[in-house]
Structure 1
Amino acid sequence: MYISEKRVEVRYAETDQMGVVYHANYVIWLELGRTQLIEDLGLSYVEMEKQGIVSPVLDLQVTYRKAMRYGERALVKTWIEALNPLRVVYGYEVYNEKEELCITASTTNILVKQDTFRPVSFKKFYPEWYEVYEKAKKQSE
C-alpha cells in the first residue's frame, strides 16, 4: 500500500489554553494528508471540483494517543484503507518529531455532485482515479 507523508508545523493558534493542540485541528491535518496523497498519486482534487464533483467526509474516527504542543512538527501519514465504487476509506497516523504515535484516524469519503449533493459512482465518473487508487491500495497486498 502506498503511504503519503506530509509534515505540518504546529502553530500557536492551533493550541488550546493547556498549551496542547486543540483536538479539532487534527482534522485539518488529516485533510492536508489526504490532499498530499492525491497529489502524490498524480491526481488533482481541484480539477475534480472544477467538474462539479466534491468529496465530503461521511464518517470520521479519531483516537487521540499523545498530545502535541506548539513548536513541534507533526508527520501525517495517509493511505487508502478501503475502496469500493461509492466510498473511499482513508487511514491516517500522526507522529511527533520523536516518532511517537499521537493519533490514529480514518475518514470515509464519497463523491457527490456539487449542485445537488447527490452521490455519484467513483468508479463510473472517475475510472482513472479509481484505478490509481486500486493500485495504491494493493501495493502491499
Structure 2
Amino acid sequence: MVISSATIPVRYAETDQMGVVYHANYLIWCEIGRTTLIEDLGFKYADMEREGVLSPVTSLNMNYKFPAKYGESVIVQTWIEEYNGIRVKYGYEIRNGKDQVCLTGTSEHVCVDKETFRPISIKKHFPEWHEVYEKNKK
C-alpha cells in the first residue's frame, strides 16, 4: 500500500483571527493529498478529465482532532482506503510539525461520464489505474 505525503505551509489567509485554520481548508489540503497520491501512483487526474471522465465526491467524513495554526506546516498523508472498480475511498491523516494529529478522514469518489454524469467502470475504462488501485488499496 502506498501512503503519499504532501507538506503544506499554513498560510495566513487559511486562518481565523486566532490563527487557527478554518475547517474548510482541510478539504483543500485533502485534495492536494489525493492529487499527490494519484501522481505518486503514476497517473494524472487531468488525463482522466481529457478522456471525458470526472470523479466527483460522493461522501466526506472529517474528524477534527487538534487545530493547525498559522506559521506551522502540516503533512497530509493519503492512501486508498477502499476500492471496488467503480468507487474509491481515500483515507487522510493531517499532522502538524509537532506530529500531532489534526485531522483524520475519508472521501469517497465515483468516476462518471462527463456528458451524462452516469457512473463508469474504472476497470473497463482505465485498466492501468484499476490494476494499480487494486494493488495499493488498504
Deviation at 1:113, TM superposition (A): 1.1
What RMSD in Å do the two structures reach over aligned CA positions?
Answer: 0.9
SS of the residue aligned with 2:78? strand
Partner of 1:43: 43
Gap regions ≥5 residues in structure 1: none
Gap regions ≥5 residues in structure 2: none
2:5 corresponds to 1:31 = no
Deviation at 1:85, TM superposition (A): 1.6
Q: Deviations over 1:111-131 (max 9, x none)?
A: 011122111111111111010
- Written as runs of structure 1 = structure 2, the 5 A alignment for 1:4-23 is 4-23=4-23
Partner of 2:96: 96
CA distance in 2, matches of 1:126, 1:135: 14
- Give the fraction of aligned pairs with identical amino acids, expressed as a percent: 57
- Written as runs of structure 1 = structure 2, the 5 A alignment for 1:64-103 is 64-103=64-103
2:111 corresponds to 1:118 = no
Deviation at 1:17, TM superposition (A): 2.8
- Residues paired across the two proteins, number: 138
CA distance in 2, matches of 1:34, 1:107: 10
